């Protein structure tokens, strides 16, 4: 789990402060905390039993604890751990702090960066959750053991997602999410753009240099004021997540992700289904998505 930057985005600082106050109100002798060190909510429904499957980990750990800060446009290191995005941003995705390590490497918990961050022996940054151990509890070893076991088991998706994939195996290939998107600006340069699909992609049809990122100035002509080359990858650990890596950090501005001229604007899954993506720009290239970067001072 990548750490918070030295300049934590304002929204993240607010989340951290709120979480710290909430934890502090329940800390001390442990009264008011559940077995995961999480504040009990009066009248709230108890979470499902913690087990070594992704659905349980999301409900017990990622959503209530990690996504206090790792959510939305201000998520540190671009790592969103809400239910909609966490799997595709964890499994098979290189850490932005230590790119030689995956955030989650299926079958290998010791070399999964999330484990190193949670256990506190990471090479970069600080132990997670943020504030551990000074302002909020670290995850107990017994809790981390469930994440370890899930990774040892191959880091499969939730049973609900797996069942849905089986039911909809014959459904057309489609994009299920893009992070970041045009819904809200990101507060720091995104380390990668992740395009999630509903089927496993045929990686033999993907050109690692098929996309670029264009910056457009407000009120200017539609022609890009800056072109940022990008690298396209799909991890064998997660064939449904296509990652686009900018060759350099993106400054504040409006951007669009574009297929290079001459590159096919289609993706195919391993069953042979194809999907045409994007809308033509002024040069006839396909624009996959648009987003804004608002780098905070």
Region 27-50: what's the mean pLDDT? Answer: 51
For residue 54, pLDDT beyond 90: yes
Share of the chain above pLDDT 90, in %: 42
Banded model confidence at residue 41, pLDDT cuts 50, 70, 90: very low
Q: What is the DSSP letter of 158?
A: -
Q: Which two tokens stand for residue 5?
A: 């930057």
* Backbone dihedral angles phi then psi of residue 251, each to the nearest 5 degrees: -80, 175
The bridge status of strand 253-259 relative to strand 241-246 is unpaired
Long-range contacts of 227-235 (CB under 8 A, 24+ apart): 230/193, 230/257, 232/206, 232/207, 232/208, 233/208, 234/201, 234/203, 234/206, 235/91, 235/92, 235/93, 235/102
Strand partners, 259: 211
* Backbone dihedral angles phi then psi of residue 90, each to the nearest 5 degrees: -105, -55
At CA 179, angle to CA 177 and CA 182, rounded to 5?
90
Residue 203 CA to its chain's centroid (Å): 20
**CA 294, CA 290: separation in Å to the nearest integer?**
14
């Amino acid at each position: 789990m990548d750490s918070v930057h030295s300049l934590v985005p304002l929204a993240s600082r607010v989340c951290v402060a709120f979480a710290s106050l909430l934890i502090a109100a329940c800390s001390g002798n442990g009264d008011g905390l559940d077995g995961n060190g999480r504040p009990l909510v009066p009248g709230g429904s108890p979470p499902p039993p913690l087990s070594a499957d992704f659905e349980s980990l999301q409900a017990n750990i990622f959503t209530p604890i990690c996504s206090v800060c790792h959510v939305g446009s201000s998520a540190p290191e671009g790592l969103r751990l809400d239910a909609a995005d966490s799997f595709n941003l964890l499994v098979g995705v290189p850490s932005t702090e230590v790119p030689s390590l995956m955030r989650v490497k299926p079958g290998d918990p010791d070399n999964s960066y999330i484990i190193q961050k949670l256990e506190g022996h990471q090479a970069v940054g600080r132990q997670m959750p943020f504030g551990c151990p000074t302002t909020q509890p670290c995850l107990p070893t017994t809790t981390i053991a469930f994440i370890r076991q899930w990774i040892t088991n191959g880091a499969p998706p939730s049973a609900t997602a797996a069942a849905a994939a089986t039911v909809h195996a014959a459904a057309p290939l489609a994009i299920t999410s893009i992070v970041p998107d045009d819904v809200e600006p990101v507060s720091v340069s995104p380390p990668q753009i992740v395009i999630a699909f509903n089927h496993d992609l045929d990686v033999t049809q993907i050109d690692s240099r098929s996309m670029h990122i264009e910056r457009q100035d407000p009120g200017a002509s539609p022609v890009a004021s800056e072109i940022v080359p990008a690298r396209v990858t799909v991890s064998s650990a997660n064939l449904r997540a296509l990652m686009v890596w900018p060759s350099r950090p993106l400054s504040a501005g409006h951007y669009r992700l574009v297929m290079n001229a001459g590159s096919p604007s289609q993706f195919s899954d391993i069953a042979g289904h194809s999907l045409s993506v994007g809308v033509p720009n002024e040069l006839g290239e396909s624009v996959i998505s648009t987003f804004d970067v608002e780098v905070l001072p």
